[in-house]
């Protein structure tokens, strides 16, 4: 089972942001991936852009709920 947790290194200890849902004594394999702030900012901007532009599902693209109401009134 693969689970991803985010945490912060403090000396020789990793403080996780959320609790681990595994029984005591479970053996695990830990892999580290550094999150660079610039990369995180790029990801955040990309996701915000997707939220603002909406998703193209093959039909007319509605980015605001009001657009749906306008369509219903026609």
> Cα 38 vs. chain centroid, distance in angstroms?
16
Each domain of the chain, given as residue ranges in start order, spans: 7-73
pLDDT per residue as tens digits for the range 1-28: 788 888 888 999 989 999 988 899 999 8
Q: What long-range pairs does 58-62 form, CB within 8 A, spacing at least 24?
A: none
Q: Assign 3-class secondary structure to the chain.
A: CCCCCCEEEECCEEEECCCCCCCCCCCCCCCCCCCCHHHHHHHHHHHHHHHHHCCCCCCCCCCCHHHHHHHHHC
pLDDT per residue as tens digits for the range 28-67: 888 888 777 778 888 889 989 888 887 666 766 666 777 7
**pTM passes above 0.75:** no
């Amino acid at each position: 089972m693969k689970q991803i947790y985010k945490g912060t290194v403090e000396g020789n200890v990793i403080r996780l942001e959320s609790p681990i849902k595994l029984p005591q004594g479970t053996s695990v394999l830990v892999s580290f991936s550094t999150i660079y702030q610039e990369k995180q900012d790029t990801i955040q901007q990309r996701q915000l852009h997707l939220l603002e532009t909406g998703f193209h599902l093959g039909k007319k693209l509605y980015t605001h709920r009001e657009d749906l109401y306008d369509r219903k009134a026609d």
